[in-house]
Amino acid sequence: MKRWTTLLMIVCMLGITIPAMGAMSISKMRQNTRFLTDRMAYELQLTPQQYDDVYEVNYDFINNVRYLMDDVVRGYDYALDRYYDFLDVRNDDLRWILSSAQYRRFMGAEHFYRPIYANNSKWQFRIYTVYTNINFFYYGKPHHYTTYCGGHYRTHFNNVSYYQTHYRNRYRHEVYKGNYRIRHDRVTYDNHRRRDFNVAVRPPKKDNHRPATPPQTRPNRPQARPERPQATPNRPQARPERPQTKPSRPQTRPERPSSQHNAPTKREVKRNTDRKEKDSKKTREKSKDNSRERSATRMRTV
């Protein structure tokens, strides 16, 4: 008995917390999707094929953002970025369903182009501010109102729009080729955030945010950094000389004793030869003079 009581309490707690986490039940989500699609079909004059496809696109969008909207209203930046990413995907899928003229009228209607807004810390659909009778519908339920569960969302087709790949088989109208993304420009993105959820500008990133003028000195910290204790003793400044194993050689090399005299140079040889020739010439002249004197004395004696 105690075990069944504990199990019943757990079931009751889950029944209370799960709707709060989902923020919208499946039946309520289908009802809101049908109401939004019904008014789009009325104002944009959709065909039955367009009516069914637009219902699928609106269902995928509301199903993706219903878990984010509480954080979006609180102003969390990650939730806002993801919400507008899902909105751009939804608007891209609608480009292939609606004709170019229909898509221009769709972008001009704020309750279609940006269907959710925040009011008094709660998120609501703009379509209910234009059409207050929530129980009146211009058209009947789509043929897959209770069976469609997101099977045509682009994550099942390699992140390519299902309606883009099947466009030629379904429609022959001109596709809108202008700019439709809200996230394409920061100014446009910030303006829509402010108008939809009262978020003026993006908060600065903490990693890149620095004060304009850094403080001159840090409080409660010494100016000089204390020296670290040295684990090893200081090394000597000068490296000691290594002991010499071999005797050092003398600075000047002693002269080797020469066994022979130095050879004379060319100039000295020439000088000696000139001197010998002069001496020989003088001796010849002197001998000639002596011979002449001898011959002269002989002649005198005869």
Residue-wise pLDDT tens digits, 55-101: 999 999 999 999 999 999 999 999 999 999 999 999 999 999 999 99
How confident is the model over 206-214, as a mean pLDDT? 49
Residue-wise pLDDT tens digits, 138-164: 999 999 999 999 999 999 999 999 999
Task: Quote the pLDDT of residue 291.
Answer: 75
Q: How far apart are CA 105 and CA 40, in angstroms?
A: 10
**250 pLDDT exceeds 70?**
no
**13 pLDDT exceeds 70?**
no
Q: Which helix (H) or strand (E) holds 122?
A: strand 122-125
**235 pLDDT exceeds 80?**
no
Q: How far apart are CA 116 and CA 119, in angstroms?
A: 10
Residue-wise pLDDT tens digits, 260-296: 555 667 777 778 888 888 787 778 877 777 777 777 7
Task: Quote the pLDDT of residue 240.
Answer: 57
**14 pLDDT exceeds 50?**
no
Provide the pLDDT confidence category of residue 6 given band limits of 50, 70 and 90. low
Task: Quote the pLDDT of residue 20.
Answer: 38
How confident is the model over 30-46, as a mean pLDDT? 97
**236 pLDDT exceeds 70?**
no
Check if the beta carbon of residue 143 is closer than 8 Å to that of residue 54: no
Specify the DSSP class assigned to residue 47. -
Regarding pTM above 0.75, the answer is: no
Return the higher-pLDDT residue of 176 and 2: 176
The radius of gyration of the chain's CA atoms, rounded to the nearest angstrom, is 56
**257 pLDDT exceeds 60?**
no
Question: Among residues 65, 43, 55, which one has the least CA distance to residue 125?
Answer: 65
Task: Quote the pLDDT of residue 17.
Answer: 38
**Can you tell me whether residue 119 is helix, strand or coil?**
strand
